[in-house]
């Protein structure tokens, strides 16, 4: 299958235009819109989010990643293979954490160009055609040669920040649950948040943290919105304490 991970937003034509290209180039291959509201123009938090969710997809899945504030610049276009999953998009760190968390990975620079390539929509014109052709069995080497990707060594393995606010106001962090002690408290601004296993384990209106269904530390409020109650946004820092 092909999975879309973008910051296009939930409205507008952009996701649909990419889906149209994928359908024309790889008819019959399922296309999943995983995220259309990744952190806008922010590859770093998006990288942790993508890595957490990509693990639920089988080997052979091709991800089209478009969080690309440098579109049209000299930034490279790449294909990353990580434990059998493929990622197509910009070389701006978006695939750094997914690549880092596997045993083996390979990277190719995309040298191929379509006949018509806009300056501002490489997701549609470049990444989508490459992803579709990979999904139908073409080899990454057909699009360019192997390279050493940029490395973002200053990015930690687990990011103690909020990386996503969902529809319900729950705040996902870049921390995997295994990186935080089960009984730790989280300091977020002036708030000290204790853990709970489920929403119903705390009173209505009370904040808590838990390990969500994708293995990330998430901050929530029972019957409320954590983003508003705790004034959270993308990049809000988290400190775990005993």
* Per-residue pLDDT band at 165 (split at 50, 70, 90): very high
The domain defined by 2-142 carries CATH number 3.40.1280.10: no
| Res. 169: pLDDT tops 90 | yes
Instruction: Report d(CA 100, CA 123) in Å as an integer.
Output: 23
**Cα–Cα nearest to 164, from 57, 32, 36:** 36
Q: What is the pLDDT of residues 221-242, one digit of tens each?
A: 999 999 999 999 999 999 999 8
pLDDT in the model for residue 162: 98
6 strand-pairing partners: 66
- Asked if 96 and 46 count as a contact pair (C-beta separation under 8 A), the reply is no
Chain centroid, CA 74 distance in Å? 22
Name every residue whose Cβ is closer than 8 Å to that of residue 64 and which is 6 or more positions away in sequence: 2, 3, 4, 5, 6, 18, 22, 88, 89, 123, 127, 128, 131
Q: CA torsion sign, 111 to 36 to 46 to 69?
A: positive
DSSP assignment of 155-177: S-SSEEEEEEE-TTS-EEEEEEG
- What is residue 185's three-state secondary structure? strand
Average pLDDT over residues 129-149: 97
**Cα–Cα nearest to 232, from 212, 213, 209:** 209
DSSP assignment of 95-132: THHHHHTSS-EEEEE-----SS--SS-HIIIIIHHHHH
pTM of the full predicted structure? 0.96
- The domain ranges of the chain are 2-142, 159-241
Long-range contacts of 13-19 (CB under 8 A, 24+ apart): 14/121, 14/123, 14/124, 17/121, 17/124, 18/64, 18/66, 18/123, 18/124, 18/128
* Per-residue pLDDT band at 38 (split at 50, 70, 90): very high
Instruction: Report d(CA 230, CA 93) in Å as an integer.
Output: 29
- Asked if 36 and 8 count as a contact pair (C-beta separation under 8 A), the reply is yes
**What fold is seen in the domain 159-241?**
Elongation Factor Tu (Ef-tu); domain 3 (2.40.30)
pLDDT in the model for residue 124: 98
pLDDT in the model for residue 242: 83
pLDDT in the model for residue 149: 85
89 strand-pairing partners: 78
In the block, residue with structure tokens 């290209």: 21
């Amino acid at each position: 299958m092909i999975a879309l991970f973008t910051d296009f937003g939930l409205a507008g034509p952009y996701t649909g235009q990419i889906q149209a290209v994928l359908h024309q180039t790889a008819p019959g291959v399922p296309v999943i819109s995983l995220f259309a509201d990744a952190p806008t123009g922010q590859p770093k938090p998006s990288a942790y989010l993508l890595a957490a969710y990509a693990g639920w997809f089988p080997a052979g899945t091709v991800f089209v990643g478009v969080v690309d504030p440098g579109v049209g610049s000299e930034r490279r276009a790449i294909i990353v293979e990580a434990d059998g999953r493929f990622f197509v998009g910009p070389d701006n760190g978006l695939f750094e954490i997914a690549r880092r968390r596997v045993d083996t990975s390979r990277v190719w620079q995309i040298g191929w160009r379509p006949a018509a390539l806009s300056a501002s929509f490489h997701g549609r014109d470049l990444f989508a055609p490459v992803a579709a052709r990979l999904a139908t069995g073409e080899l990454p080497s057909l699009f360019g040669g192997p390279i050493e990707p940029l490395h973002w060594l200053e990015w930690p393995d687990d990011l103690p920040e909020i990386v996503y606010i969902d529809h319900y106001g729950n705040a996902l962090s870049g921390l995997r649950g295994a990186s935080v002690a089960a009984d730790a408290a989280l300091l977020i601004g002036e708030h000290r948040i204790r853990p709970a296993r489920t929403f119903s384990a705390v009173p209505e209106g009370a904040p808590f943290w838990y390990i969500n269904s994708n293995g990330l530390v998430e901050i929530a409020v029972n019957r409320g919105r954590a983003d508003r109650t705790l004034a959270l946004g993308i990049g809000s820092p988290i400190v775990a304490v005993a």
